[in-house]
């Protein structure tokens, strides 16, 4: 019998107040039920927010290095249980085991990085314009933070948000995606085992309407960190306006890899195969467009089609599998709709474009790697996020044209160029409109200690990862210490 999972509120595991549940199933074999989870609503969110609010003052007064020590223990526990976490994640969302191991490793890296930041969290000092006066700024926690995460990186992305928020002294209400609730539960279990005090982390399962929006709208939630679609991000941004809470949005992408005529084509081939079809294309940084110089276009495309057709689809737990399933039927429907759009727009379907149902894959959401050629920059398949294994190939004649085509989208997350010309590389770095640019690397492969995020409709300017996320989860307090023993009136006395 499948396990019955629960919410975690105020230090106790509990069912949803309404008693409702939903099932979690294996996308590689939809007949396999992995567990049932609380289908929570506003009442559970309110309880969780109140629990976080009640412990916030005690938690913020815990020295930051001590908060970091707890995250160090979480990293140790994740290392100890890495394989079991990865296998559970593969069963839950489908991507191959080598990728889920990497997902866990990213969480481990983030834990150790956050632990070290507990001894940093630097402020600034600056000289005063007056005598016998000292000026400084310090970083202080915001309060209760709501964390809403997607299913494609169900361990890495929550750790990007939760670990920095905790080390900064905030209390958390966490809503994982309904497609990956078990991994979210496992993360909370590890935090509890590491010694995080009751109420500092609260887990509420459920959908966007029942849990996500009540969390966004709650007046005691002072910050929201969300990763997901641009459409939902806009809704969250609008809803958060009434309470003027801080909001970080990491949203969609329509990322492109440029391959110039002088590139190492073998390296570029490995990059686009990994970028386009890794995680079955279900990454916000996935390579959705391939921009090829006309001199190498035909030969590169021909070789790419042959390589894509040899990729092995199957259960992500099998050692020889290279591509797992899409996460659910809705994603299959989305991919199929865009394949039809591409055909109707006049692009040439070179390979794929259909579900894969052979053998053990018959009960899963498998889709063949799909490549369109003859794609024009104004086609919908070249502009809209698909979130599946669909690659649009565009032919260009020059670097200027390549960059213009790459920039011709409402998104601006990740980008890539393969070239041996250092001048071209630096022009690309300067002129590409994206938060991330890779030189001779694919559009995927972010590192935990570097800022992650994009421009335009990819987000609202904040960054995950690196040092900048700690700025999001803290307020800056400016402090003046006047030890002159008399009233000093700043500019009035300084004329």
Confidence of residue 218 (pLDDT cuts 50, 70, 90): very high
Catalytic residue among 284, 322, 385, 457: 284
Average pLDDT, the chain: 97
According to the model, what pLDDT value does residue 493 have? Answer: 82
Tell me whether residue 361 is one of the annotated catalytic residues.
no
| CATH 3.40.605.10 boundaries in the chain | 3-251+459-478
Average pLDDT of the residues in 123-141: 97
Catalytic residue among 250, 350, 385, 464: 250
According to the model, what pLDDT value does residue 172 have? Answer: 98
- As a whole-number percent, the residues of the chain with pLDDT over 70 amount to 100
Confidence of residue 111 (pLDDT cuts 50, 70, 90): very high
**359 secondary structure, DSSP code:** G
Task: Give the strand pairing for 370-373 and 414-418.
Answer: unpaired
According to the model, what pLDDT value does residue 54 have? Answer: 98
| pLDDT over 90 (residue 490) | no
Specify the length of the chain in residues.
495
Average pLDDT of the residues in 330-351: 98
Tell me whether residue 284 is one of the annotated catalytic residues.
yes
| pLDDT over 80 (residue 166) | yes
Long-range contacts of 119-123 (CB under 8 A, 24+ apart): 119/64, 119/65, 119/68, 121/64, 121/167, 121/168, 121/470, 121/474, 123/476
pLDDT tens-place string over residues 60-96: 999 999 999 999 999 999 999 999 999 999 999 999 9
The fold of the 255-439 domain, in CATH, is Aldehyde Dehydrogenase; Chain A, domain 2 (3.40.309)
| pLDDT over 80 (residue 495) | no
| CATH 3.40.309.10 boundaries in the chain | 255-439
pLDDT tens-place string over residues 366-385: 999 999 999 999 999 999 99
The two tokens of residue 142 are 């915001």
137 φ, ψ (degrees, to nearest 5):
-125, 145
Confidence of residue 1 (pLDDT cuts 50, 70, 90): confident
The two tokens of residue 366 are 């498998």
SS3 78: helix
Confidence of residue 406 (pLDDT cuts 50, 70, 90): very high
Secondary element (H or E) of residue 305: helix 297-309
Dist CA 182 CA 6 (whole Å):
10
Q: Which CATH number fits domain 3-251+459-478: 3.20.20.190, 3.50.4.10, 3.40.630.40, 3.40.605.10?
A: 3.40.605.10
Dist CA 477 CA 384 (whole Å):
41
Task: Give the strand pairing for 348-351 and 390-396.
Answer: unpaired
pLDDT tens-place string over residues 417-448: 999 999 999 999 999 999 999 999 999 999 99
The two tokens of residue 75 are 């990293």
Is-above-0.95 flag for pTM?
Answer: yes
| pLDDT over 80 (residue 491) | yes
């Amino acid at each position: 019998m499948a396990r019955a999972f629960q919410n975690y509120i105020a230090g106790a595991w509990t069912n949803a107040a309404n008693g409702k549940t939903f099932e979690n199933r294996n996308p590689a074999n939809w007949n396999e039920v992995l567990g049932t989870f609380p289908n929570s609503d506003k009442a559970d969110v309110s309880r969780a927010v109140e629990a976080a609010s009640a412990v916030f003052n005690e938690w913020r007064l815990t020295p930051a290095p001590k908060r970091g020590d707890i995250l160090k223990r979480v990293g140790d526990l994740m290392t100890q249980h890495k394989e079991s976490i990865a296998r559970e994640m593969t069963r839950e969302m489908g991507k191959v085991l080598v990728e889920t191991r990497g997902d866990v490793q990213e969480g481990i890296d983030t834990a150790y990085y956050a632990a070290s930041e507990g001894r940093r969290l630097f402020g600034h000092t600056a000289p005063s314009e007056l005598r016998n006066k000292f000026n400084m700024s310090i970083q202080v926690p915001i309060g209760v933070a709501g964390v809403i995460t997607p299913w494609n990186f169900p361990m890495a992305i929550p750790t990007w948000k939760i670990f920095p928020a905790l080390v900064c002294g905030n209390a958390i209400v966490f809503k994982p995606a309904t497609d990956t609730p078990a991994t979210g539960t496992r993360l909370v279990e590890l935090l509890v085992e590491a010694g995080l005090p009751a109420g500092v982390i609260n887990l509420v399962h459920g959908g966007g309407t029942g849990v996500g929006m009540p969390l966004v709208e709650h007046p005691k939630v002072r910050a929201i960190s969300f990763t997901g679609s641009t459409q939902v991000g806009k809704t969250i941004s609008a809803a958060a306006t009434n309470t003027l809470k801080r909001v970080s949005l990491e949203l969609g992408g329509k990322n492109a890899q440029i391959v110039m005529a002088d590139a190492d084509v073998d390296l570029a081939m490995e990059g686009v195969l990994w970028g386009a079809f890794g995680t079955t294309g279900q990454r916000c940084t996935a390579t959705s467009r391939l921009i090829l110089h006309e001199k190498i276009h035909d030969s590169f495309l021909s070789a790419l089609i042959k390589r894509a057709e040899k990729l092995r689809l199957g259960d992500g737990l099998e050692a020889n599998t290279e591509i797992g399933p899409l996460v659910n039927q809705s994603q299959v429907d989305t991919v199929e709709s865009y394949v039809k759009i591409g055909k109707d727009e006049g692009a040439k379907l070179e390979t794929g474009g259909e579900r894969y149902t052979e053998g053990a894959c018959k009960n899963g959401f498998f889709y063949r790697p799909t490549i369109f050629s003859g794609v024009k920059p104004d086609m919908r398949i070249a502009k809209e996020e698909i979130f599946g294994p669909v690659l649009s190939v565009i032919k260009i004649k020059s670097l200027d044209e390549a960059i213009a085509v790459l920039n011709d989208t409402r998104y601006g997350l990740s980008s890539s160029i393969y070239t041996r010309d250092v001048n071209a590389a630096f022009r690309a770095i300067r002129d590409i409109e994206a938060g991330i640019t890779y030189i001779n690397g694919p559009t995927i492969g972010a590192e935990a200690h570097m800022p992650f995020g994009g421009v335009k409709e990819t987000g609202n300017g904040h960054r995950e990862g690196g040092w900048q996320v700690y700025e999001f989860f803290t307020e800056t307090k400016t402090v003046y210490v006047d030890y002159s023993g008399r009233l000093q009136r700043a500019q009035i006395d300084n004329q």
